[in-house]
Chains A and B, each alone.
Chain A
Amino acid sequence: MPGSSFLRPLVGLVLMGMLAVLVAVSVGSSHVGFSKVLWVFAGGGSELDRTLILDLRLPRVLSAFVVGGLLAVAGALMQVLLRNPLADPYVLGLSGGAAVGALLAMLAGTAGFIVSGSAFAGAMLATLLVFGLAHGSGSWTPSRLLLTGVVVAAGWGALITLILSMTPAARLPGMLYWLMGDLSHSGQPWPGMLVLVLVCLLVLPLGRSLNVLARGSMQAAALGVSVRPLEWLIYLLASVLTATAVTMAGAVGFVGLVVPHMLRLVLGNDQRLILPACALAGGILLVLADTLARNVIAPEQLPVGVITALLGVPTFLYLLYRSR
């Protein structure tokens, strides 16, 4: 029974996650001490402290956790689907489609809900486009899907550059921050959390099939896995996860690529453990990164994408160096 051996790392990650959230909520550009935070959670504290912690920090920290989790799970699924270690949630052009949607909305002078709505629509359009094109008339293979996605992503990239070059200078910072990934306007974390939990519940029973699929579609087919429907399901789920994340925080890079690899180096390559572990570890990484982004040069702010890479690169290289 693998359950017990899975339990320890997952419980460890849950505890680390709770600690990360608590730390993140306790530090910010205004100095609300740790004891005050506990006091606020207990229902006390001044009006300002309550606003700071409950209305500003907590939703943002939870959003960071959710976005990190969404991206890491999406990355893990993409790596299984494409049998390619370089795959990340954005490799098939999903973030490009979302970016074009969001930037067009910003260029039109809109903000808030319309921008995130356009981002989600763009992501879904990108998904359908790649789905339709990769289907084609011939047979379907992961490499065909990958190539289609990469080329479509390049097309989105060109559109993004075109939009940026036609935008008046005053609107550029907002667009660049969106492209770098930014959690300052992520809104409420609950819809994203719902998506994350639902997809994880949906994927977990598939863990065994995913393990087989990761070894190759021929083997999986020989072992009785219906490969084609499974692959499309993974693609659809990964797309929904990524679209949700991108809608909440823009194109935060790096988490989706590196977190699954880190966990594989530490925990081995069993999808039944890796996928829930990704949801937790991705969340922890992004919560810590966002905490730094908020505080390194406070009250000024950095985009979180910068920090995820600065934190993730050395950690990953260290794990890689240590591994046999």
Chain B
Amino acid sequence: MTTRRLTVFILLLLVPVTVLGETLCASDALDRNVCLPGPATRIVSLSPGATELLFSAGAGDLVVAVSAWSDYPPQAEQLPRVGDSSRLDLEAILALAPDLVVAWVDGNSRQQLDRLAQLGVTVFWLAPREFEHIPQAIEDLSVLTGTPATGVAQAELFRNDLIELEENYAEASLIRVFYQVWDQPLMTINRDELIGKAIELCGGVNVFGHLPRLVPRISTEAVLEAAPEVIVTSGRQESDRQWLEDWTAFASLPAVAAGNLYLEPPDLLARPTLRMLDGVKHLCQTLETARARL
């Protein structure tokens, strides 16, 4: 185990070293090789997640503007805004003369960003679909911003913690989980969603994991039929606890009978960043509590 980790570590250290001399290149989520003539100095981040990843990569000082809702780390709140993720103010972005724009496949408009690219702005796309994509993104961003050491260190910490978590819960007994994304309409996630993967990591079985859509809309009836042993939601605020209260009307649900209705801290699981690991840890502990109550 340790030798493998060490090898990975050394290999990762080598990657940035080879490119430091001339142009800096990294491959993005659209499988394009994005290259810069030197470390980026003026970065615009177009999603709250990308902002967090840039700060984790040690490039927080280089970020000159962010998209709306970028509220973490606290320094990000002071930065100028260039519009909401899906409706960007291209003029404002151009006026900042960024040498790197970090975009997010699921949130930003491809058309708007292609227009930016045509105007000569370098765009790096992120699309975290798996846990490994998070440290990968931090490493890539740290390469492009000339802070590879920070990036690799952060990524390595994340990977080690993840492995530890996986080992801790590998033997956990299976428990049937319903994860509620939203109330009206009632929505959940399938197994391809990062939260779905977090549930599996913690030894949970997502009762709607098999559905084809990433964020399926389902009926109350389907939840009763699926008979989850625990219901988890990470609402945006404390008042969303009401979502859980509503289930207590159905006493026949195993989750209700066992009192297994949990509100996870918001934001931690929702954003694919380093903090997600804290969210996963919290979720795993919640499922442990739930197992004890069955």
Contact = CB atoms under 8 A, between A and B. Distances in A.
A86 B211 CA distance: 41
Nearest to B211: A300
A52 B221 contact: yes
Interface string B71-109: 000000000000011110000000000000000000100
10 contacts: A28-B219, A29-B221, A52-B224, A55-B250, A56-B221, A109-B236, A168-B84, A174-B182, A299-B222, A301-B219
Contact of A57 (B184, B221, B222): B221
Given A51-B252, A169-B85, A184-B185, A300 B218 contact: yes
A177 B218 CA distance: 13
B219 A294 contact: yes
A208 interface: no
Contacts of A294: 219, 221
Given A169-B85, A169-B107, A300-B217, A48 B224 contact: yes
B173 interface: no
B86 A301 contact: no
A63 to B, nearest CB: 14
A57 B220 CA distance: 10
A170 B85 CA distance: 12
A300 B186 contact: no
A111 B242 contact: yes
Interface in B207-258: 208, 211, 213, 216-222, 224-226, 236-237, 239, 242, 249-252
A298 interface: yes
A257 B175 CA distance: 49
Interface in B265-290: none
A314 interface: no
A168 B69 contact: yes
Contacts of B242: 111
A299 B252 contact: no
A293 B215 CA distance: 18
B292 to A, nearest CB: 25
A57 B225 CA distance: 13
A30 B69 CA distance: 40
Nearest to B212: A300
A299 B221 CA distance: 8
A29 to B, nearest CB: 4
A165 B86 CA distance: 9
B222 A29 contact: yes
A97 to B, nearest CB: 20
A184 B186 contact: yes
A43 interface: no
Given A47-B252, A168-B69, A30 B225 contact: yes
Nearest to A29: B222
Interface string A297-324: 0111100000000000000000000000
B213 to A, nearest CB: 7
A52 B222 CA distance: 10
A182 interface: yes
Contacts of A115: 184
A300 B216 CA distance: 6
A115 B251 CA distance: 27
Interface in A223-255: none
Q: How would you classify the secondary structure of chain B's contact residues: helix, strand, loop or mixed?
A: loop
Contacts of A169: 85-86, 107
B182 A173 contact: yes
A51 B224 contact: yes
Contacts of A52: 221, 224-225
Contacts of B237: 109
A300 B237 CA distance: 26
B116 interface: no
A185 interface: yes
B193 interface: no
A229 B224 CA distance: 52
A185 B221 CA distance: 13
A169 B49 CA distance: 14
From A47, A111, A298, A300, name the one whose CB has the most chain B CB atoms within 10 angstroms: A300
Contacts of A48: 224, 252
Interface in A169-228: 169-170, 173-174, 177-178, 182, 184-185
From A51, A165, A294, name the one whose CB has the most chain B CB atoms within 10 angstroms: A51
Given A29-B225, A55-B249, A184 B182 contact: no
Nearest to A294: B219
The 9 nearest A-B residue pairs measured at CB: A299-B222, A30-B225, A29-B222, A177-B185, A300-B216, A47-B252, A299-B218, A48-B252, A301-B217
B106 to A, nearest CB: 9
Contacts of B184: 111-112, 115, 174, 177-178, 184-185
B224 A182 contact: no
B62 interface: no
A51 B185 CA distance: 20
A52 B226 CA distance: 12
Interface string A27-45: 0111000000000000000
A299 B208 contact: yes
Nearest to A182: B185
Interface string A124-164: 00000000000000000000000000000000000000000
B183 interface: yes
Contacts of B69: 168
